[in-house]
Structure 1
Amino acid sequence: MAANDATPKAYIVEHLDPELGPWSELEYLAIARESQAAGAAFCLSSLPAGFRVPEALSAVPAFRAENRGVEELYAADKSRVCLLDPSAAKDLSPEDGDKFDAFLFGGILGDDPPRDRTSELRKKGFEGRRLGPVQMTTDTAVRVTRLVVQGKTPLHDIPYVDFPELKFNEHESTEMPFRYVKDDEGKPIMPEGMVELIRKDSDKAIDDLF
């Protein structure tokens, strides 16, 4: 079934954790603002009862919080939902923008080493697509998906930077274990405030910031 061109694209993160860490909050805010600018929607689904959405996030009109899971939200037509799945047989392509309305991401994609957080969604029967072999942060995965399905840019034509080194000063730096989209200056596109968060918490493991 072809996606309805009049239906705005939706980017959905099935949030599998009871809380929202500072890293995820910055990523979700970036996704919400970029989705708003692209005329798309951003949804956090399967939120536990009592989950507190940060004010800055709830203030973005494109954002919505859902206690329901994706299988309930799209019970009428699962075929409209594409699961971004590292184990899928096919890569995401611009044509998928014509086939799907909603693009689903399984919780925290930015784990290092990656945990298979997508496996539960895979079991629910959503059709899957890959974004390539290198681990991405959640906001990068959504950004790449949007560039492909809305911008009609093939995956291999998107400018990437893998494992960039962030230099804080002459003596301090850290290598990020992820793939990012490059900006016009060749730097990794990261959420506003992310470099400062990483610098401030450079003594913590990256996993602790999610």
Structure 2
Amino acid sequence: MPEHKTYIVEHLDPELGPWSALEYRAIARETAGCDGVFMLSSLPEGFQVPEELKQESAFRAETRGVEDLYPEGKGKERVCLLDPAADEDLNPDDKRDFDVFLFGGILGDDPPRDRTSELRKKGFTGRRLGPVQMTTDTAVRVTRMVVEEQYTLDMIPYLDHPELKFGEKESTEMPFRYVKGKDGKPIMPEGMVDLIKKDADKSIDDLF
């Protein structure tokens, strides 16, 4: 069993919006902290990876899909799909059974569009992360906490639908679950609050 894990987002969109770019960079940085690999798979030919993301040591860009990277009999059984429709919750013992943790981007849709369904059809073993919609970086963060740090899902401190305040009269409620940081605030990618504040007149979907 490899000591270090691989976290893959199967990127199902032709472009990379500012929201996703910040999330992916946060995932890459945190994954580097545990000597893991963060990969975007199924990237279309000519896909422009932001320079800031290219510079992250844990990051890999891959045009092949997960079913080609891990075919039947050559690693597919060691891939775990994080799937809200799965029958079992992710648990610390899954560290022994899986080397690769697969996410169907974009997870942060509101309302959820079940983007994971395309991966579900490919027959990967699924695990749930709970009933509340998470952003992509939060889903990877929670998975890493369970697998690498051996938390159970109910041990993780969460903040559901937190309100972000930008001033005395300006605020917005985020329609997602986050991990609570030591400061009591939701853990979010660097630059995310500024992006949301700057584009407060846009819908969240427009920022992906």
The two structures have a TM-score, normalised by structure 1, of: 0.97
Question: 1:27 aligns to what?
Answer: 23
- Report the CA distance between 1:39 and its aligned residue: 1.0
Question: 1:117 aligns to what?
Answer: 115
Question: 1:106 aligns to what?
Answer: 104
Q: What aligned pairs does 1:193-208 form with structure 2 within 5 A after superposition? A: 193-208=191-206
RMSD of aligned C-alpha atoms? 0.6
Question: 2:95 aligns to what?
Answer: 97
Give 4+ residue runs of structure 1 displaced > 3 Å after superposition.
none
- Unpaired segments of 5 or more residues in structure 2? none
Across the two proteins, how many residue pairs are aligned to each other? 206
- Which amino acid in structure 2 is aligned with residue 130 of structure 1? R
Question: 1:51 aligns to what?
Answer: 47
Question: 1:64 aligns to what?
Answer: 60
> 2:183 & 2:32 partners in 1: Cα distance?
24
> 1:162 & 1:45 partners in 2: Cα distance?
29
Question: 2:164 aligns to what?
Answer: 166
Selected match of 2:10 from 14, 35, 42: 14
Instruction: Verify the 8 A CA contact 2:4 2:34 in the aligned structure 1.
Output: no
Selected match of 2:133 from 118, 132, 135: 135
Question: 2:151 aligns to what?
Answer: 153
> 1:77 & 1:161 partners in 2: Cα distance?
35
> 1:107 & 1:139 partners in 2: Cα distance?
10
- SS of the equivalent of 2:103 reads strand
- Which amino acid in structure 1 is aligned with residue 177 of structure 2? R
- SS of the equivalent of 2:53 reads helix
Instruction: Verify the 8 A CA contact 2:92 2:146 in the aligned structure 1.
Output: yes
Instruction: Verify the 8 A CA contact 2:9 2:41 in the aligned structure 1.
Output: yes
Q: Deviations over 1:40-79 (max 9, x none)?
A: 1000000000001111101111100000000111111211
- SS of the equivalent of 1:71 reads helix
> 2:75 & 2:30 partners in 1: Cα distance?
26
Q: Percent identity?
A: 72
- Report the CA distance between 1:38 and its aligned residue: 1.1
- Which amino acid in structure 2 is aligned with residue 69 of structure 1? G
Selected match of 1:185 from 180, 183, 186: 183
- Unpaired segments of 5 or more residues in structure 1? none
> 1:118 & 1:146 partners in 2: Cα distance?
19
- Report the CA distance between 1:138 and its aligned residue: 0.1
